[in-house]
Amino acid sequence: SKGVADRVTFEDFKTSTTNPNCDSECRDIGMLDDFDKLVKPDAPTKGSNKASPKARDTLILLHQMGNHGPAYFKRYPEAFEEFKPVCMTNELSKCDNQSVINGYDNAIRYTDYFLHNVIDTLKAYEQDYDVVMVYISDHGESLGENNIYLHGLPYAIAPDSQKQVPVIIWSPASNSIDKNSLLKVINQPVSHDFITPTLLNFFNITTDEVAGAPTFFKTAP
């Protein structure tokens, strides 16, 4: 977390001690193992007959390894290698452009699988709770266009591929969030600045610091 999350409960899933889904790398899907423990911190362990307590309002952040470069070939299990050949080094300039793209696309396939499982996991709670998944990347990626790789160029000169990122918001039909408002602004530009006001709205928290700030459901006038 680079110190940002020092005051909140944090669990590292990058070792086999906490992540049951490790091969050559520990996979993101392992963060969903025993998810009930995250939703209900006082829940009994697996196999226990003890009744689970009700959860309080909870925000769970799952920070993926995702598609992080330059070693894209390490970001997915072998079964997800649909696109070949793949650049098998972190020195991307030594590979042809298509093999770099193939490795990245395979990693995206695994992220798609991960998000599918996040949604399936949340569906188990939709009868009792208002659940919602918000997925957003922290940055885009250059894959060799104009001999530019990875990300991190100054914003003023960075290509759009580094600045434009996906945002996915999922919730079951029973959720009380205002989907009609979301549809009205679906083609409006948004930014990471919208994340905090959006999350506060989900929890019905008001604060002067973000009063009137745009969210993913309502852009600024």
Q: What is the pLDDT of residues 25-70, one digit of tens each?
A: 999 999 999 898 888 766 555 555 555 555 578 899 999 999 999 9
Q: 14 lies in a domain?
A: no
Residues 203 and 145 in one domain: no
Q: 152 lies in a domain?
A: yes
Residues 129 and 50 in one domain: yes
| Structural contact between residues 149 and 142, judged by C-beta atoms closer than 8 angstroms | yes
Predicted confidence (pLDDT) at residue 217 exceeds the cutoff of 90: no
Please state the domain count of the chain: 2
Residues 94 and 130 in one domain: yes
Q: What is the pLDDT of residues 102-151, one digit of tens each?
A: 999 999 999 999 999 999 999 999 888 889 999 999 999 999 999 999 99
Q: 5 lies in a domain?
A: no
- Domain containing 147 equals 28-176
Q: How far is CA 97 from CA 47, 78, 92, 145, 150, in A?
A: 49, 21, 8, 8, 13
Q: Give the whole-angstrom CA distance, residue 175 versus residue 129.
A: 8
Q: Which of 21-25, 92-96, 151-155, 207-211 has the lowest mean pLDDT?
A: 207-211
Q: 19 lies in a domain?
A: no
Residues 66 and 143 in one domain: yes
Residues 143 and 208 in one domain: no
Q: How far is CA 176 from CA 28, 117, 195, 203, in A?
A: 29, 22, 18, 11
Residues 191 and 214 in one domain: yes
Burial level of 8, CB count in 10 A (0-12/13-18/19+)?
exposed
Q: 143 lies in a domain?
A: yes
| Structural contact between residues 90 and 50, judged by C-beta atoms closer than 8 angstroms | no
